[in-house]
Amino acid sequence: MLIAIPNVLTPEQVGQARAALDAADWVDGKGTAGFQSAKVKDNAQLPENHPVAQELGQMILQALSRNLLFMSAALPSRILPPMFNRYAGGQHFGAHVDNAIRLVPGTGQRLRTDLSCTLFFAEPDEYDGGELVIEDLFGTQQVKLPAGHMVLYPSSSLHHVRPVTRGARVSSFFWVQSMIRDDAQRRILFDMDMAIVRLNQDVPDHQGVLSLTNSYHNLLRLWADV
């Protein structure tokens, strides 16, 4: 399931974040790549403990906690602190699959990567190239979203970032461990939740809403890993 989530951040938040990111000191992105990914990764990244990364990461997490579409689609159990990368001057990230397990910085705890997230901080017309290309059961899709928008997709997907040939692609990336490990089950629950929302909007007090809501929560209770 691939879902574009609009307006995770406001234009004001994006502007403040870009000013801080543009002024920050970036390092080689290979430092956080796995053995295979390091062979095909060519970008710049903020260190995980950089004050800008930590401040903006908290802003993103707070925004996501209020985003109903994200909460419905991801059903998050835990979220790895957001990280930040930058592509310019032909930099790219070749085809790879994200690591299945990641350490949560400073805790020693492990997080299962069920969902991958990319939140864009540069407008599409600011740079050429840089499309996030994702391959999965839903086919191959190219993603290049407006600043402040985010894409959510299964971490099991093969994906790559095309070379940036003009300007700079600036984004945040992070992973989610969902309460629902299986992508197909997560999709069923998301579709049911969206149907409940539409019914409440189109036919308020419809008797089918209660029945559908009951089924949703019973499936969530059956499948959830908490």
**Rounded to two decimals, what is the model's pTM?**
0.93
Per-chain mean pLDDT for the chain? 94
pLDDT the model gives residue 106: 84
Claim to verify: residue 85 and residue 196 sit in the same structural domain:
no
Claim to verify: residue 41 and residue 104 sit in the same structural domain:
yes
Whether 176 shows a pLDDT value over 70: the answer reads yes
Claim to verify: residue 110 and residue 188 sit in the same structural domain:
no
pLDDT the model gives residue 34: 61
Give me the CATH number covering residue 196: 4.10.860
Domain count, the chain: 2
Mean pLDDT of 194-211: 89
pLDDT the model gives residue 137: 80
Q: How many CB atoms lie within 10 A of CB 31?
A: 11
Residue 169 CB-density burial (10 A; 0-12 exposed, 13-18 middle, 19+ buried): buried
Residue with token string 């699959």: 97
Determine contact, residues 103/132, Cβ cutoff 8 Å: no
Whether 19 shows a pLDDT value over 70: the answer reads yes
Residue 223 backbone dihedrals phi, psi, to 5 degrees: -100, -20
| Nearest C-alpha neighbor of 129 from the set 164, 100, 156, 97 | 164
Angle (CA) 47 117 108, round 5°: 50
Determine contact, residues 101/178, Cβ cutoff 8 Å: no
Provide Rg for the chain, Cα atoms: 18
pLDDT the model gives residue 139: 85
Claim to verify: residue 56 and residue 93 sit in the same structural domain:
yes
pLDDT the model gives residue 36: 67
pLDDT the model gives residue 35: 64
What DSSP character marks residue 92?
E
pLDDT the model gives residue 177: 98
Claim to verify: residue 62 and residue 173 sit in the same structural domain:
yes
Give me the CATH number covering residue 19: 2.60.120.620
Whether 171 shows a pLDDT value over 80: the answer reads yes
Determine contact, residues 46/29, Cβ cutoff 8 Å: no
Q: Please give the full DSSP string across 116-128, using - where no structure is assigned.
A: EEEEE-S-GGG-E
Structural domain harbouring 35: 3-178
Strands (E), 113-215: 115-120, 128-129, 132-136, 139-143, 150-154, 158-161, 164-166, 168-178
Token digits of residue 143: 């993603």
pLDDT tens-place string over residues 87-123: 999 999 999 999 999 999 888 899 999 999 999 999 9
pLDDT the model gives residue 109: 92
Kindly state the percentage of the chain with pLDDT values over 90.
Answer: 87
pLDDT the model gives residue 146: 98
Mean pLDDT of 73-82: 97
Claim to verify: residue 161 and residue 213 sit in the same structural domain:
no
61, 140, 166, 186 from 74: Cα distances, Å = 13, 21, 33, 8
Claim to verify: residue 191 and residue 174 sit in the same structural domain:
no
Claim to verify: residue 102 and residue 43 sit in the same structural domain:
yes
Claim to verify: residue 216 and residue 114 sit in the same structural domain:
no
Claim to verify: residue 145 and residue 191 sit in the same structural domain:
no
In angstroms, how far apart are the furthest CA atoms of the chain? 58
Claim to verify: residue 187 and residue 97 sit in the same structural domain:
no
Residue 198 three-state SS: helix
pLDDT tens-place string over residues 131-170: 999 998 878 999 999 999 999 999 999 999 999 999 999 9
pLDDT the model gives residue 164: 98
Claim to verify: residue 8 and residue 69 sit in the same structural domain:
yes
Determine the Cα–Cα distance for residues 130 and 128; give it in Å rounded to an integer: 7
Whether 31 shows a pLDDT value over 80: the answer reads no
Whether 38 shows a pLDDT value over 80: the answer reads no
